[in-house]
Structure 1
Amino acid sequence: MKRLTLVLMALAAVASPVGAVAPVGTSQRAVPTEGAVPRPARLPQTPAEALMQDGAAYARHYGVAIEGAVQRLRALQVSAAFTDRIRQAYRERLVGISIDHQPSLRIVVLLAGDAPVADTSIVVEGMILPIMFRTGAGATGDEIIRAMLQHGPELNALLPNARGMGLDARSGELVILVRASDAARFDLANLKRDAERLAGVPVRFDLADRPDNLSLAGGARIEGVDPADGKRYACTTGFAVTDGTRTGIATAAHCPDQVEYQDPDGGTIPLSFAGQWGARTQDVQINVSPVPQQPLFYADRRQGALRTLASARSRLSTRAGEWLCHYGESSGYSCAEVELTQFAPPGQLCAGACAPTWVSVRTHDCRSGDSGGPVFNGDVAFGITKGGSGGRNTRCNFYFYMSTDFLPAGWRLLL
């Protein structure tokens, strides 16, 4: 019997884009899909080829040579260990750590308090990477996170149409994302003062569109029937996972429980339902494969860009300005900068209130149909797409993802 590999791999038969779905916990799941595309190549990229692809996107975005772009991405990967040590050394004062890409690459550390810290630098991947310390922030990162946890409902009540909030690691503010109608209010300055009195930390209002769950299509196709309406739906896969005994796939928690993998040769492979987690910090479902899997995922299914997963970056090690790529069946492959590393989506998007543990990426390259897709850099996993700022027919301004840190207890990435 031939070996079948299910997760985000070259066996995928992929549906056309699907429509938006309702938040987790509702009966609506996705939109039925049709059609398929030719099967891509099965050979995974080497780590160098993976970075070259992501580096090409970086080079186009920042106007640098491809060689320099790849060198920067390598340097940033290595530098995460250094910034983790900085995070620990200055944990009592730390607001956040960010990456500046222009006019040149550097790391910026923002601290509360006025005691100065000398700038420094590290040599990584043959380049000097400056590390700049900025002081004088009005609150630490922990204080801002605590304000969101303790006063989130009251802050949301000031502007009921606000589209989420998060810690801005660059400015040291609690940023509240507002709609255009709220941004034009004559009493916005008074509301800002009220928010700062309530939270006890600096607050900034920033313009953003409405977030919602993105619909279900992504790196590879699985299908299932929603018992609520009897219709067949397609959904996405993110990364291969294991509990030490079984292997399976992780996807967004909007997928029908019982699904089948669609083999391009005409067969179907039933995947058993292991569980679904969709509250506060999580939006993930796991379906178990009947055969052992490999740690492979699509960076770009349309181009047949298959990668072997090597490692994962934790949420706490992720910095504002991090260059991350994602694949969504609607928007395709794209890369952009992390904006907020401690983001709380609005309303009841997490089967209730969301914790400030999500990560937002500022980009126009996200659409309905991307939910569940992988977020990565090179061969390093960062998370699984949860939602975005635009609806089915509106322009996206950012998407946000669940860190792979929040895979359910007992499950881990297959490496």
Structure 2
Amino acid sequence: MIKIPKRLSRFCGIVVLGVAAYQMPVAYAQNQAFTMLASDHSLDMDAMEYSKTYKVSFVEALRNLIIQLSSDDVVAHLQNKYKTRLAGMYAEHKPYYHLVVRLKGNARVLDTSFPIRNKTAVPFSEILDLPVEFQSGADYTLAELEKIRDAHLKEFAAIPGIQGTGIDERSGEVVLDIVEPKKTATANSSRFASPAPSFINLPIKINKLRSKLVNAAASVRASEIMSMRISPLLTSQLGGCTSGFNIKDKATGRLSYATTAAHCYDYNITLNDRKTVGDDKLGLIYVKEFHNASQDFQVMSVKPPLLQTILLPQFFAADNVAKPLTGRRTRASTVVGNTVCHYGKTTGYSCGTVKDKAYMPGLVGSILFKSCGPDGKTGKPAKPVVCSKTWVKVAGPKLDCFQGDSGGPVFIGNIAVGLLSKVSKNNSTWSSIIHKGKGWCGGNDGGTLPITGDDPGFLTYMSTDELYNAGYQLKY
């Protein structure tokens, strides 16, 4: 068991604030005391999770996360310098934190190391550097793998149980996520038993899932963060989601909005803190949604007499623990192997690892992966479109996700990464008492199956890039 380090225990219980002393972030109860993490402690929680996942000390975990958040210039440099040969790039955590760059062809490149300047607000006195290991000999570049995937979408869409397709930058293969229920699954990962003729000799592998990839909206419960009516006519039928980061219009910066997933519902929207006793019901008004190939978010304004000033540049990262938002991470600067965390209405706080930054969801029975955009379940006409290759896939042995987590923040430290969209979890039920921390969203299914091969569950998130592409910017 990992003990709470001194730097973490210093702030616990002493920065407890209530509405009388401080304004709470919108989307959470205004009568509930909470802890606001100062910027210099913004990575403490995430480092604790990292240390448990990779079995390293808290200090080493903190160091590795600081390097991750401060190495975007190095990543961009490597992507540009080796763009004609780049077959994959990923972060490796053992035996020490480093980047692995896979290159097509046999021409060798010597391993190197880059000095890293701490770009976070977290103080760290040790020298930071990022070792880079080059691996030559890959058969395909990332661009060539993308072309292979695009050329076979029709065949992929016809495979029974197909949920989506991605690129494994570690192995240099096109990945097909296919549902295989527990009763028939014998291993999490395998090759085609009888590949179609058009797939022979192609770099394709199957990742077997325990459940379908679904939008993560859910029925409301007592500890909801966000509830809304499915239709103005159905007064008793409710849906539940999680509020995301607060934003403002990019043109003027004057209008502020709350966010959640677009596949959530639009009517009688109210907000509560996940752990509040009572029902505060802060009101929001649906304004607009962006539900298409690459976007899944809606914007909401506060309901009078509430003022826009309650839409603060802060977010809840765990139950009754808030952080100030200080920046964002683009999809381009995200690397396979990076650690990210999320907070959701149903499962709370947990962390996982980026598995794919060019994921393409595609639900079973969809035509050419037309599983993005309106699905007809929110009262609007169904207008499905082919999903773009811009979604980010996350899994891990400690990652939890379930319906109700939709729209919630994905982050690392106090840096925004994206908004949660879809989940493929390992079971049809969730209990925070029984299942919490057992990898219900990748790497395990509550301890009943061994962790072998790829992850049997995962979540996908929409990058913060899409908020900016739609004309908004994060509040920070």
The reply to whether TM is greater than 0.5 is yes
Report if aligned partners of 1:9, 1:220 keep a CA contact under 8 Å in 2.
no
Deviations 1:136-193 (A, max 9, x none): 2222212222333443232222x23122110111111111122336989999344166
Q: Which piece of structure 1 moves more, 222-231 or 56-65? A: 222-231
Say if 1:54 and 1:84 are closer, same or farther in 2 by CA, change over 3 A.
same
Deviations 1:62-82 (A, max 9, x none): 111111111111111111221
Instruction: Identify the match of residue 102 of structure 1 among 94, 98, 103.
Output: 94
1:95-244 equivalence runs, <5 A: 95-124=87-116, 126-157=127-158, 159-180=159-180, 188-191=192-195, 194-195=198-199, 202-209=203-210, 210-216=212-218, 221-227=225-231, 229-231=234-236, 232-243=238-249, 244=253
Shift of 1:196: 5.3
- Residue 26 of structure 2: aligned partner: 7
Asked if residue 411 in structure 1 is aligned to residue 472 in structure 2, the reply is yes
Report if aligned partners of 1:315, 1:341 keep a CA contact under 8 Å in 2.
yes
Asked if residue 326 in structure 1 is aligned to residue 339 in structure 2, the reply is no
Report if aligned partners of 2:29, 2:280 keep a CA contact under 8 Å in 1.
no
- Residue 392 of structure 1: aligned partner: 428
Instruction: Identify the match of residue 295 of structure 2 among 282, 288, 299.
Output: 282
Report if aligned partners of 1:359, 1:403 keep a CA contact under 8 Å in 2.
yes
Say if 1:275 and 1:354 are closer, same or farther in 2 by CA, change over 3 A.
same
Q: Give aligned pairs, total.
A: 382
Report if aligned partners of 1:299, 1:327 keep a CA contact under 8 Å in 2.
yes
Asked if residue 357 in structure 1 is aligned to residue 390 in structure 2, the reply is yes
Q: Which runs of 5+ in 1 are unaligned?
A: 12-37
Residues of 2 paired with 1:193 and 1:169: CA distance? 25
1:298-377 equivalence runs, <5 A: 298-300=316-318, 302=319, 304-347=320-363, 348-351=370-373, 352=384, 353-363=386-396, 364-377=399-412
Equivalent position SS for 2:71: helix
Say if 1:187 and 1:361 are closer, same or farther in 2 by CA, change over 3 A.
closer
Deviations 1:61-119 (A, max 9, x none): 11111111111111111112211111111112212210000121110011222222111
Q: What amino acid is the match of 1:103?
A: P
Equivalent position SS for 2:162: coil
Q: What amino acid is the match of 2:346?
A: S
Shift of 1:335: 1.0
Shift of 1:280: 1.3
Q: What amino acid is the match of 1:399?
A: L
Residues of 2 paired with 1:186 and 1:306: CA distance? 42
Report if aligned partners of 1:220, 1:237 keep a CA contact under 8 Å in 2.
no
Instruction: Identify the match of residue 61 of structure 2 among 69, 83, 87.
Output: 69
Asked if residue 246 in structure 1 is aligned to residue 255 in structure 2, the reply is yes
Residues of 1 paired with 2:197 and 2:99: CA distance? 31
Report if aligned partners of 1:325, 1:336 keep a CA contact under 8 Å in 2.
yes
Deviations 1:274-302 (A, max 9, x none): 211222111111112341322110100x2
- Residue 256 of structure 1: aligned partner: 265
Report if aligned partners of 1:164, 1:176 keep a CA contact under 8 Å in 2.
yes
Report if aligned partners of 2:91, 2:338 keep a CA contact under 8 Å in 1.
yes
Report if aligned partners of 2:229, 2:269 keep a CA contact under 8 Å in 1.
no
Q: What amino acid is the match of 1:39?
A: Q
Equivalent position SS for 1:143: helix
Residues of 2 paired with 1:399 and 1:110: CA distance? 25
Q: What amino acid is the match of 2:141?
A: T
- Residue 315 of structure 2: aligned partner: 297
Residues of 2 paired with 1:75 and 1:374: CA distance? 22
Q: TM-score, normalised by structure 1?
A: 0.83
Report if aligned partners of 1:192, 1:205 keep a CA contact under 8 Å in 2.
no
1:53-64 equivalence runs, <5 A: 53-64=45-56
Residues of 1 paired with 2:200 and 2:322: CA distance? 47
Shift of 1:48: 2.5
Q: TM-score, normalised by structure 2?
A: 0.73
Equivalent position SS for 1:226: strand
Q: Which runs of 5+ in 2 are unaligned?
A: 1-19, 119-126, 364-369, 374-383, 431-439, 442-456
Residues of 2 paired with 1:166 and 1:250: CA distance? 27
Residues of 1 paired with 2:198 and 2:146: CA distance? 18
Say if 1:370 and 1:223 are closer, same or farther in 2 by CA, change over 3 A.
closer
Report if aligned partners of 1:109, 1:132 keep a CA contact under 8 Å in 2.
yes
Report if aligned partners of 1:342, 1:359 keep a CA contact under 8 Å in 2.
yes
Shift of 1:401: 0.8
Instruction: Identify the match of residue 86 of structure 1 among 74, 78, 88.
Output: 78
Say if 1:174 and 1:247 are closer, same or farther in 2 by CA, change over 3 A.
same
RMSD: 2.9
Q: Which piece of structure 1 moves more, 112-121 or 219-228? A: 219-228
Residues of 2 paired with 1:414 and 1:192: CA distance? 49
Q: What amino acid is the match of 1:229?
A: L
Shift of 1:194: 2.6
Instruction: Name the structure where helix makes up a greater proportion of residues.
Output: 1
Q: What amino acid is the match of 1:287?
A: M
Shift of 1:5: 5.3
Say if 1:47 and 1:149 are closer, same or farther in 2 by CA, change over 3 A.
farther
- Residue 377 of structure 2: aligned partner: none
